Structure 1
Amino acid sequence: MTDTTRESAASPTAWVRCEGCVTLVYGKRFSRALLVCPDCGSHARLTAQQRLDQLLDEGSAQPLDQVDCVADPLGFVDLRPYPERLAEARASTGLAEAVLCVRGLIEGQPVIACAMDFRFLGGSLGCAVGAQIAEAARTSLRLRIPLLLITASGGARMQEGVLSLMQMAKTAHALAELDEAGVLVLSLITDPTYGGVAASFATLADVIIAEPGARLGFAGPRVIEQTIGGSLPPGFQQAEFLRGHGLIDDVVQRGALRPVLGQLLSLQHPGARPAAPATSATSATSATPATQPHEPAEQLPKPDAWATVQLARHPERPTTLDYAAHLLDGFHELHGDRIAEDCPAVVGGPGWLNGRPVMLIGHQKGGTELTERQHRKFGMPSPGGYRKAARLMRLAAKLGLPVVTLIDTPGANPGPDAERGGQAVAIAENLRLMARLPVPIVAVITGEGGSGGALALAVADRVLVCANAVYSVISPEGCAAILWKDSEAAPTAAAALRVDAEELLRLSIVDGVVPEPPGGAHTDHSQAAALLGDAVTAALAELQSWEPQRLLRERGGRFHRFGLGTAPSAGQGVS
């Protein structure tokens, strides 16, 4: 929408022309739709005050104090003196600067919110904007209230020269302090967000969401096209493009922003959120707890190893997203490794398991449709998938959330692109990260646990396995081809590798076995989820009182013992 169009929307009888589809929209309808075109979905720009009015609970906003800054540090003059431009911007917007900072509530959750206004010198980052953002971050730190950054900017303010550049470092330092203190930072990208804002506080948040079509980048498209001497692909730097390339977590329609932000803000103070009601899955069945390590492995059923492999690979077994839908209240999937990609073979995000906030991360094979399984790379992550998982684990550690991982993968992606992207390094980094993550970790092998690709999500305090899942150093087919010189010997290799739940429990590789519905998890997703949810809840209940030092000590000892001395006897479990 143009500025003229937005101004006309203020009149209840005005007709508004959408800049996106050139359709005329009745002014009242346009206002009720929060300045979103009902025909094409184009999101018009909001002022900083409009943005805060839309997002904050009514009557909750309390302005933060202004920070005094030098008004014209360089005595800058272009076609007009800089002080004249500032005075004009202040008169036309009613704002002291290009950002408005307040303390308030969103869906009852406390927040410090900073909303930028593109009308004020293009939302440019000058000394006053940097000072206000930094002061808002300090207020957030002092009160331990999450910080919400709502960005709209063309970049650094040229009239303030290199002092404007320094605001990037100032705001980055302020957000680093929030990281160290474990205070949540959210970023809402609105159109446009470029230059120094994009390369500092806008993209340093724990969770980055964007409105549809919002553009984000360091250099603008015209600069890039002039540099490369060519045109850019459609949608380049827009929100949907950015999510597909792993740079933001999600794209959210304007009308859905309040509940999404409210859910995310509730992660900072879990006790302030009412306990989630039991889901239909957890209440529909009287779930049997996971088999405990001290129970003799001989009491478990004696399945054929190869038959178990086939069940573990059944295309109708529940996926991570299936389990999330059945078990978690308020689950919100987060996307991307913030570097280059959003690997679809790994999914994850925060949610509430029986009233407890957790970070769920897992492999995603893709269900029964071949096209979906191909899209999900058959659950074989690229390096970006492991980097995404690592990012979510770091966020969980920052907020003190337990991590739950669901493992179902043939192994890491073996393609040349994955190797060029540093597959081995990505897996190794996850192993190191999980070894020292200072929050409880519960891992469940729900289907295939293939090699290092599985272990990269399984360095946990408690490792469980579903009754018809498998865990192995290599696929039975691969082992047969290498050692038997015959891939047809896969059933023999499966038995020799001891891949099934009974053997995994006997070897103390797993701490418990999660029962499955008769016939396997694929026969009843709801019951399978209830059984898994009960097992994970019990494991988390055991670990919740452990101090970080004990978690790290016990976790290290758990893995240190493997392969030392004699093999554990049947049912010996973890000492």
Structure 2
Amino acid sequence: MVQCDERPADRAPSWVRCERCAELVYGKRFGRTLSVCPGCGWHAHLTAPQRLDQLLDRGSTSPVGQVEPVHDPLEFTDTRPYPDRLADARAATGLREAVVCVRGSIEGRPLVVAAMDFRFLGGSLGCGVGALITEAARTSLRQRIPLLLVTASGGARMQEGVMALMQMAKTAQALTELDEAGVLTLSLITDPTYGGVAASFATLPDVIIAEPGARLGFAGPRVIEQTTGQRLPEGFQTAEFLLEHGMVDNVVPRSALRATLGRLLALGSPSRRPPRDVAPASSGRILRRPEEVAQRDSWEAVRLARHPERPTTLHYADHLLEDFHELHGDRLGADCPAIVGGPGRLNGLPVMLIGHHKGGPGLAERQHRSFGMATPAGYRKSARLMRMAEKLGLPVITLIDTPGAAPGAESEKGGQAVAIAENLRLMSRLKVPVVAVLTGEGGSGGALALAVADRVLISENGLYSVISPEGCAAILWKQPEAAPAAAAALRLDARELLRLGIVDGVVPEPPGGAHGDHAAAAALLRDALGAALDDLVPYEPERLLLERRSRFQRFGVETRIPSGTGRGTP
């Protein structure tokens, strides 16, 4: 940002030149756009006080207790003594250190905020910053309110040597205590965030959002290019690049930050019981006896379950949940579009929704979503969201609609079998209620990876099978045209699954099927989910775990298929 006339530093310039497109913007207009270029969307750097002023409710701030760290532990001197550099930074910024920590509120919801200021020695992480971040986390822990970290840093502070390095572990431990206590943590990545900050408290919170164009990484691009001799791709380490590669949950423009953070903060202290002002949804109708479910041809059930206009997880999220906020990425390198999920409120109760997403009726969108066939990154993303739900005490709802897990060399190299197995283990021990609904196809282990639940329901026209009818026909019948016979033999429709005890109930669909009326299908699903959660939410974790494990242990022991029923034969 360039000032075009001389004014006191604490007053806005008359004109601002955009660093990206070089457009001149009238200073007052630039202020009204929150220091974002109205032409190209470039987000200018903000000071810590500016950031707090933009994010927090007016008049809500109070300082977090100060701490006095070790001063100049190495007696470091380069071209100047380190104490002189500190004094200059304090005089230039009016700050004591490179982070400002306060208690405040966003849209009336209390939180603790630690906002970094790049002007102060490049926002470097030294003993002072480490002590203040740790104190902010402890304040959050004592008061049981969420912690928001706003990062801007070039890395660890070289003038403090290995003492600065230790602050990475110190701040990571502080966030671990918040994890153990079930306190929500949020990170807002601003430009730039590198080095020791990126590799510690900036990337450990439950939800990571980034401003457009913000850069995040352990090593800077110049260092990487000099070390490897390779030219980096365009946009490398930017927020958009990181979103695509599963490292951040969302890229949020500055104008939407307060609203986004407000929705996320609503998850901060959920009760295990529904709010008192929310009417119980016990009126929800779940078909629990096989004779209540219409009998239909198995192949017709397959056709309906695969209907391209059947509602997807995102369709259901729009109809079922208030304040749904989709989260992205496995935090390891990818964001699988075949699995979607995020928090929202069902009948006023905060929940975590996770599900397969086949995409809309258009072929290009369905191909982008791999027809709901998840990669290992998709199952790792779902596991991350489940762990977050357990930490915050949110019930988990999974919506299953997939032909199976994504096949192929890339999935195998990524550890598809391990990713599915890890989900089975994780869901077996989640200490929050879990309700799974087979809303369409339930194909093999790719479906089961989201279906180890306290209550397993199936939509009236859903299916669940160890293999597709086509696959079964090819292997056992040795002819693909035997798929209808294989479908009948596999007993994969809702009525048969209820009779076998594989599902606990059937969710009715509108006449003709869910594809004909998404809103009506969602209303029926909402009632069923509400009824299931009304039953499960009061359970203590020990009861949930015991009954969930017992549910799956009995399969193959108690399940009996009455004699005299027709079976397909190869």
User: TM-score over 0.5 for the alignment?
Assistant: yes
Shift of 1:231: 1.3
Shift of 1:493: 0.2
Match of 2:286 in 1: 290
Secondary structure of the corresponding residue to residue 205 of structure 1? coil
Match of 1:487 in 2: 480
Match of 1:511 in 2: 504
* 1: CA distance, partners of 2:265 / 2:552: 35
Match of 2:516 in 1: 523
Q: Is the 8 A contact 1:350 1:360 kept in 2?
A: yes
Match of 1:361 in 2: 354
Check if 1:149 corresponds to 2:149: yes
Kindly provide the CA deviation profile for residues 239-276 of structure 1, in whole angstroms up to 9, marking residues without a partner as x. Answer: 00000000010000101111111111110123699979
Q: Tell me the TM-score normalized by structure 2.
A: 0.96
* 1: CA distance, partners of 2:101 / 2:274: 28
Note the 1:382-531 alignment, pairs <5 A.
Answer: 382-531=375-524
Residue type of the partner of 1:419? E
Secondary structure of the corresponding residue to residue 470 of structure 2? helix
Check if 1:82 corresponds to 2:82: yes
* 2: CA distance, partners of 1:2 / 1:239: 24
Check if 1:541 corresponds to 2:537: no
Residues 86/566 of structure 1: CA separation in 2 closer, same or farther (3 Å cut): closer
Residues 11/143 of structure 1: CA separation in 2 closer, same or farther (3 Å cut): closer
Match of 2:126 in 1: 126
* 2: CA distance, partners of 1:384 / 1:364: 14
Shift of 1:410: 0.2
* 2: CA distance, partners of 1:423 / 1:331: 28
Residue type of the partner of 2:80? R
Match of 2:70 in 1: 70
**Which 5+ residue runs of structure 2 have no aligned equivalent?**
564-570
Match of 1:55 in 2: 55
Residues 271/505 of structure 1: CA separation in 2 closer, same or farther (3 Å cut): closer
Note the 1:165-314 alignment, pairs <5 A.
Answer: 165-270=165-270, 289-292=285-288, 295=289, 297-314=290-307
Match of 1:34 in 2: 34
Q: Is the 8 A contact 1:9 1:27 kept in 2?
A: no
* 1: CA distance, partners of 2:452 / 2:141: 32
Shift of 1:186: 0.3
* 2: CA distance, partners of 1:355 / 1:6: 53
Residue type of the partner of 1:471? Y
Check if 1:551 corresponds to 2:544: yes
**Which 5+ residue runs of structure 1 have no aligned equivalent?**
571-575
* 1: CA distance, partners of 2:441 / 2:95: 58
Secondary structure of the corresponding residue to residue 378 of structure 1? helix
Match of 1:567 in 2: 560
Shift of 1:15: 1.3
Match of 2:100 in 1: 100
Residue type of the partner of 2:56? L
* 1: CA distance, partners of 2:6 / 2:292: 71
Residues 287/543 of structure 1: CA separation in 2 closer, same or farther (3 Å cut): closer
Kindly provide the CA deviation profile for residues 178-233 of structure 1, in whole angstroms up to 9, marking residues without a partner as x. Answer: 11111111000000000000000000010000000000000000000111212111
Residues 9/380 of structure 1: CA separation in 2 closer, same or farther (3 Å cut): farther
Q: Is the 8 A contact 2:130 2:171 kept in 1?
A: yes
Residues 492/248 of structure 1: CA separation in 2 closer, same or farther (3 Å cut): same
Residues 177/382 of structure 1: CA separation in 2 closer, same or farther (3 Å cut): same
Q: Is the 8 A contact 2:5 2:13 kept in 1?
A: no
Match of 1:18 in 2: 18
Over aligned residues, Cα RMSD in angstroms? 2.2
Residue type of the partner of 1:14? S
Q: Is the 8 A contact 2:356 2:401 kept in 1?
A: yes
Shift of 1:298: 2.5
Shift of 1:414: 0.5
* 2: CA distance, partners of 1:271 / 1:300: 35
Kindly provide the CA deviation profile for residues 431-485 of structure 1, in whole angstroms up to 9, marking residues without a partner as x. Answer: 0000000000000000000000000000000000000010000000000000000
Secondary structure of the corresponding residue to residue 189 of structure 1? strand
* 2: CA distance, partners of 1:248 / 1:352: 22
* 1: CA distance, partners of 2:207 / 2:260: 11
* 1: CA distance, partners of 2:277 / 2:255: 25
Shift of 1:523: 0.1
Q: Is the 8 A contact 1:276 1:355 kept in 2?
A: no
Shift of 1:299: 3.2
* 1: CA distance, partners of 2:42 / 2:321: 32
* 1: CA distance, partners of 2:451 / 2:404: 13
Q: Is the 8 A contact 1:188 1:211 kept in 2?
A: yes
* 2: CA distance, partners of 1:68 / 1:4: 39
* 2: CA distance, partners of 1:5 / 1:368: 56
* 1: CA distance, partners of 2:292 / 2:124: 69
Residues 182/4 of structure 1: CA separation in 2 closer, same or farther (3 Å cut): farther
Secondary structure of the corresponding residue to residue 167 of structure 1? helix
Secondary structure of the corresponding residue to residue 46 of structure 2? coil
* 1: CA distance, partners of 2:4 / 2:415: 50
Shift of 1:122: 0.1
Q: Is the 8 A contact 1:209 1:249 kept in 2?
A: yes
Q: Tell me the TM-score normalized by structure 1.
A: 0.95
Match of 2:567 in 1: none
Secondary structure of the corresponding residue to residue 160 of structure 2? helix
Shift of 1:143: 1.1
Q: Is the 8 A contact 1:98 1:124 kept in 2?
A: yes
